[in-house]
């Protein structure tokens, strides 16, 4: 189950790093690129979360005989 705690840390890490990149790019005056960095970070995390959600629903489907 250490893998699962790892996912949490991964997401939090991505969030903090993306926020950092966002701030730096904003300071440099590149507003659009900062927005894109935020968007890409969000999409990365969304990929992880959706994979987990799909696994969970498959498991539920197999357990509850759907």
Partner 1 sequence: MDILQITILGVLASILYILVKEVQPSLAFLIILITGIVIFFSIIQQVQLIFETIRKLGDQANVQGLYLTTILKIIGISYIAEIGAHLTKDAGLNSVSKYIELAGKIFILLLAVPIITAVIEAIIGFIPNV
Q: Tell me the C-alpha distance between 23 and 15, whole Å.
A: 12
Q: Tell me the C-alpha distance between 25 and 44, whole Å.
A: 19
Secondary structure of 38-63 as H, E, C letters:
HHHHHHHHHHHHHHHHHHHHHHHHHH
Does residue 66 interact with partner 1 by CB under 8 A? yes
CB count within 10 Å of CB 14 equals 16
Q: For the window 38-57, what string marks contact with partner 1 as x by the rule CB under 8 A?
A: x--xx--xx-xx--xx-xxx
Shortest distance, CB of residue 27 to partner 1, whole angstroms?
15
Does residue 11 interact with partner 1 by CB under 8 A? yes
| Chain residues that interact with partner 1, rule: CB under 8 A | 1, 4-5, 7-9, 11-12, 14-16, 18-19, 38, 41-42, 45-46, 48-49, 52-53, 55-57, 59-60, 63-66
């Amino acid at each position: 189950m250490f893998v699962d705690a790892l996912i949490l840390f991964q997401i939090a890490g991505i969030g903090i790093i993306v926020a950092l990149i966002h701030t730096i790019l904003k300071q440099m005056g590149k507003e659009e690129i900062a927005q894109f960095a935020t968007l890409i970070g969000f999409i990365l995390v969304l990929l992880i979360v959706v994979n987990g959600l799909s696994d969970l629903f498959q498991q539920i489907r197999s357990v509850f005989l759907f």
